[in-house]
Structure 1
Amino acid sequence: AALAHDVGNPPFGHAGEQAISGFFASHPAGLELKKMLNEAQYADLTAFEGNAQGFRLLNQTHHGLRLTYATLGAFSKYPRQSLGNRQKGRASQKKYGFFQTEKEQFAAVAEGLQLLPAAPWAWHRHPLAFLVEAADDICYHIIDLEDGCTLGLLSLDDTIELLRPIIGKRFDRAKLQAKQSLHEKTGTLRALAINELVEQTVEVFLAHEEALLSAHYDQPLTAEIPAAAALQQVIDISVDKIYRARVVLEKELAGFEVLQGLLEAYVTALLHRHQGKPGRQHENLLAIVPDEYRHRLSGTALYDDLRVILDYLSGMTDSHALTLFRKLKGITLPGG
């Protein structure tokens, strides 16, 4: 479950999610869809969610992984649909975990695992989902800090001072200084910090086992570990020094242009097809969609076809999306 947790993320990561959501919420082609879809379907599009995309991919008929209900339950950090009021203060309500196309599949998972219902089309988490969330939080923040140091966005001394309170008594400055390269030093710090955070998280999980099973506990495990304040400082510094660094922001801006440009082309083509007035350009565009996606386009169910196109685009790497964008815009020619 932990290894699969990011499988649904689009190109350019969370910035990509925002680019897709923003297109459907504000672009004329996206707004046109509001009149053609039901409320729940449109809510899925205007808040694209990598977790829900991941659940969809894992459960596809031809390319899914045929995972057990327990694994799918542990994977699902947000066991709810996009539409509906969210209960503030509950970690499992912060986002959503399945699209309308997979709602019945998720209901089957919830029934099989006896997940406790929270609201219509919303359930309380499987207890193991809290461990997957913690694993994500720990690795995400510590490894991003390591990357920031490696890229020169943060000094080694600053990195040491941020991780030393987490590592605690296992921190040995003399042994660290004996390491020859920056890579060895940051790798050692990373391993020690992650190990300590894992141990603390396991203790919190076991301490709250009964509350987790009865759905009375619904906050990140890392919020209650002894190193919570130190981990929050890592997060705060990362936001200021790494995530807002010029090189990161430039990449995000490029991602918005690329993804919204691709969506404009493909969504417009789908709209023309479903409205019975396809042009040659639109049909050519849909014709070059890879077979594994093109054969799933029905031409009759608009929402389902939009999901297929989003499978295609969100499954790309950053470089693949950029290459396709350049070709479609005539910036580069095939073979050039």
Structure 2
Amino acid sequence: MNWEDLLSLKRFGDTHKRIRKEQDETRLGFEVDYDRIIFSSEFRSLQDKTQVIPLSKTDFVHTRLTHSLEVSVVGRSLGRKVGQRVLEKHPHLKDSLGYQANDFGAIVAAASLAHDIGNPPFGHSGESAIGEFFKTGEGQRFKSQLTAKEYQDLCDFEGNANGFKILTESRAGREGGLRLSYATLGAFMKYPKESLPKKPTSHIADKKYGFFQREKDSFIEIAEELGLLKRSIQDLSFSRHPLTFLVEAADDICYTIIDFEDGINLGLIQEEYALEYLINLVRHSINSSKYNQLRDTKDRVSYLRALAINTLITEAVDIFMKNEEAILNGEFDKSLLDLSQYKAQINDIIKISIEKIYKSKEVLEKELFGFTAIAFVLDTLSSAISNLNNEQMTVKDDLIQNYFKALEISASNNMYENLMAMCSYIASLSDSLMTLSYRKLNGLD
């Protein structure tokens, strides 16, 4: 892969190549990507979607929206630092083509901002609830009507693939989705493969999948325009865009450190143990005099969090540049933080977060309710879809279709298209709207 192709400014519908030197520096295309994402309705809905801990009445906790904003800030720093060093190593990108270090930062920031845009309500349990409905629930009845890959799209419903759908899907008046640059879309594609075969290798890009069968053609067009390397002849699989590793690192840094911070501030993790874990991560950069002046828990945690994030940003950049050639050749198969010298400390933080936060009563109650609510709504909607496709619509089915007007199902669609429309609709709902839909269908409101 080469950087000139990977930094493509092309957008859906373009008939001519966009030249970096010809761009308006006051309104650069990569920065437009960020604006389009942040003003989209799909991004705004993240303000009422759980990150990990349900909204607290006693203290601030992160939602998907605040998490995404913070990941974009970390991603921008990673991108700019890498961009500066890439341009030093490949000066023609700047001298002949006009690329700047901030271009890398803008691409990574935009892709980071969008990284959770396709996630369902109730955190990762929302993805699992949709998948379980088709693997072990009433959704199994649709298996015979779908291809193996279509069925797998549903059984392992993936927020990353749904995000790609949101960013690229054409509809009336919105051809090409948000019309982002191909560079940003490439950096967004964390798992550039289809749903089958499932985890064919231990390569980080094979961990999950990144697009639904419905968006296959869009994915291929973008991958080929960017010059991503094919990893499989039989099935659709490509190497990652190099900047995807920075998007992933930004997310890893934020959820590791900031979820931990939320747990401390809510009292789920005892302060004395928590601060010790963070100090182990930043021991070489801490200013003991300044730290000892801090008397409030939040101030101490905030100071250590800032140092930890800066430490991991600096290291992630070094790891990226040391492995740049392998990354461009599609040979780098791990996340950047997997090679961190602080891997043991990171694992310690994640371990205590799992024990004290992710398995806390608040979180488990939220996940259990999410499973129940999503399964019930899916069962109701899928029955209506089944009858619609089989031309056996009942009065109740007609009422359901009219009530859920945003649900884009049609008798002219095949079963896969209607089921995917249903799942994407469910994923678009905020926690509050999902709860309201469940209560309405149960006659509780």
* TM-score, L = length of structure 1: 0.94
Q: Is the 8 A contact 2:389 2:411 kept in 1?
A: no
Residue equivalent to 1:278: 393
Partner of 2:152: helix, strand, or coil?
Answer: helix
Instruction: Supply the AA of the counterpart residue of 1:312.
Output: Y
Alignment of 1:42-53 (within 5 A): 42-53=151-162
Between the aligned partners of 1:66 and 1:298, the Cα distance in structure 2 is 29
- Superposition deviation, residue 173 in structure 1: 4.1
- Alignment match of 1:98 (pick from 192, 195, 211): 211
Q: Is the 8 A contact 2:382 2:419 kept in 1?
A: yes
Between the aligned partners of 1:289 and 1:183, the Cα distance in structure 2 is 44
Instruction: Supply the AA of the counterpart residue of 1:17.
Output: E
The one-character-per-residue Cα deviations of 1:212-267 (angstroms, maximum 9, x if unpaired) are 00011110100112211111111111111111111111111011001101101111
- Does the alignment pair 1:229 with 2:344? yes
- Alignment match of 1:6 (pick from 103, 110, 116): 116
Between the aligned partners of 1:66 and 1:221, the Cα distance in structure 2 is 29
- Superposition deviation, residue 298 in structure 1: 4.7
Q: Is the 8 A contact 1:313 1:321 kept in 2?
A: yes
Q: Is the 8 A contact 1:52 1:96 kept in 2?
A: yes
Q: 1:320 to 1:174 in 2, by over 3 A?
A: farther
Partner of 2:145: helix, strand, or coil?
Answer: coil
Between the aligned partners of 2:223 and 2:279, the Cα distance in structure 1 is 41
Q: Is the 8 A contact 1:134 1:222 kept in 2?
A: yes
Partner of 1:152: helix, strand, or coil?
Answer: coil
- Superposition deviation, residue 95 in structure 1: 0.2
Q: Is the 8 A contact 1:297 1:308 kept in 2?
A: no
Poorly superposed stretches of 4+, deviation over 4 Å = none
Instruction: Supply the AA of the counterpart residue of 1:69.
Output: Y
Residue equivalent to 2:183: 70
Range with greater deviation from structure 2 (202-211 or 225-234) = 225-234
- Alignment match of 2:168 (pick from 59, 62, 77): 59
Identity, in percent, stands at: 40
Alignment of 1:243-262 (within 5 A): 243-262=358-377
- Superposition deviation, residue 171 in structure 1: 1.6
Between the aligned partners of 1:329 and 1:182, the Cα distance in structure 2 is 44
Q: Is the 8 A contact 1:52 1:97 kept in 2?
A: yes
Between the aligned partners of 2:295 and 2:390, the Cα distance in structure 1 is 65
- Alignment match of 1:239 (pick from 346, 351, 354): 354
Instruction: Supply the AA of the counterpart residue of 2:438.
Output: F
Between the aligned partners of 1:185 and 1:310, the Cα distance in structure 2 is 43
Partner of 2:283: helix, strand, or coil?
Answer: helix
Q: Is the 8 A contact 1:299 1:305 kept in 2?
A: no
- Does the alignment pair 1:308 with 2:382? no
Unaligned runs of 5+ in 1: none
Q: Is the 8 A contact 1:15 1:255 kept in 2?
A: yes
Q: Is the 8 A contact 1:15 1:252 kept in 2?
A: yes
- Superposition deviation, residue 85 in structure 1: 4.7
- Superposition deviation, residue 177 in structure 1: 4.0
Residue equivalent to 2:202: 89
Q: Is the 8 A contact 1:166 1:197 kept in 2?
A: no
* TM-score, L = length of structure 2: 0.72
- Alignment match of 1:26 (pick from 129, 136, 140): 136
Between the aligned partners of 1:250 and 1:174, the Cα distance in structure 2 is 42
- Superposition deviation, residue 16 in structure 1: 0.7
Q: Is the 8 A contact 1:273 1:299 kept in 2?
A: no
Unaligned runs of 5+ in 2: 1-110
- Superposition deviation, residue 38 in structure 1: 1.3
Partner of 2:231: helix, strand, or coil?
Answer: strand
Instruction: Please tell me the root mean square deviation across aligned C-alpha atoms, in Å.
Output: 1.4
Equivalent residues, number: 329
Between the aligned partners of 1:21 and 1:270, the Cα distance in structure 2 is 17
Q: Is the 8 A contact 1:10 1:315 kept in 2?
A: yes
- Superposition deviation, residue 163 in structure 1: 1.0
Range with greater deviation from structure 2 (208-217 or 61-70) = 61-70
